[in-house]
Amino acid sequence: MTKTNPTILIAMPLYQGWEHVGQALDSIRRQTYGNFRVLISVDGNDKRSYEACTPFMDDQRFELVLQHVHLDWHGNMTWLGEQLREDFFCYWQHDDHCEPEYLETLVKHAVNNPQATSIYCDMQVYGDMEKLTQVPSQKGFALERVMFHVLTPPEPAAIRCLVRAVAMKAALPITVVHTWLMTIARLGELHRVPQLMYHRRCRPESLTFTLPERSESVLKRDALEWALGVVKNLQPLIGAGEITTLFSMVVELTINQIPRGKYQYDFRYVDRGEQLRFVAEFLSEAESRLGLRPYPDAGFVGGGGDNGVHPGNRGRELLPGEDLLIDALRMNADSGAP
């Protein structure tokens, strides 16, 4: 049962944000709901941003930590999530601000709707991009909620909000935003409060613009983490006989870049060998990290010809993505990989 006066951890990852962090912190200090703790994690030994926060440290609810190494955004968010001991987690970006009634309104909705793991409002994006974000509530079955986030690009409103502690802890470590959203959706409903209370500043340095510019190796890593996240979040929601269908779907979506566009590596324009190497790595990681593999009821024999094809495939049409799945399993079997 949700407390009537729940506690909130307001988590702020901060890096090179000295110009705007004061407005964000003042916005927090002006909230009409005050039962929160603010934890500011300044990344990469950024002393200028650290100093910009010190005028707010006279408020005992505010805490400031300087990370002497560069964790990057995902690592910093994971660190912040690991400090959670409150009822709710609230991600507040260092250059965003909210209306004074923001927390009070979301808390009231959360108390009255304990089935919701994420409670968010409408968001106005301004600056280098102008956009009004209105993310519909998701109240269907858990499978439907997760699939929504599998098949659509991530929307920031559903994580820049109140997230119940149980869902936030289950989402750690945060490797890509997509999988964070999937876990929240698997564990409960996502509720929109139809009021414009969140103002998101978009700058040239914002993740919206910098994420697509990362190196090829990082984009591939994120594609791998996305694929693993889909398997992790959908596997508990499907029948045991559907595991091969799940793996085939993930391979098809990852290689064809259907939902994620510019934020992950695009495998559509590389040769089949590179695609196979990625799928083989995905299968190895799924088995080592999650203990899951396609065709779980039979061993997989390497070698050429028809060897390595699960007997259940014979006499039926292959699923989309299953040809890559089978060839990658054969590649792992031939190399001795798990």
Q: Along the chain (338 residues), what's the average pLDDT of each consecutive run of 10 residues?
A: 86 95 97 98 97 96 97 95 98 96 98 98 91 94 95 88 97 92 97 97 65 75 94 95 94 79 77 93 95 77 46 67 91 76
Q: What does the domain layout of the chain look like in residue ranges?
A: 8-207, 214-335
Residue 110 phi/psi, 5° resolution?
-65, -40
Task: Identify the pLDDT of residue 296.
Answer: 77
Task: Identify the pLDDT of residue 311.
Answer: 45
Residues forming a β-bridge with 199: 97, 124
Which residues, in sequence order, are CB contacts of 138 under 8 Å at separation 6+? Answer: 144, 145, 148, 185, 189, 190
Question: Cα–Cα distance between 334 and 284 in angstroms, integer?
Answer: 13
Task: Identify the pLDDT of residue 261.
Answer: 58
Task: Identify the pLDDT of residue 302.
Answer: 43
Task: Identify the pLDDT of residue 211.
Answer: 57
Question: Cα–Cα distance between 182 and 148 in angstroms, integer?
Answer: 9
Indicate the CATH number of 8-207 among 3.40.50.720, 1.20.200.10, 3.30.110.60, 3.90.550.10. 3.90.550.10
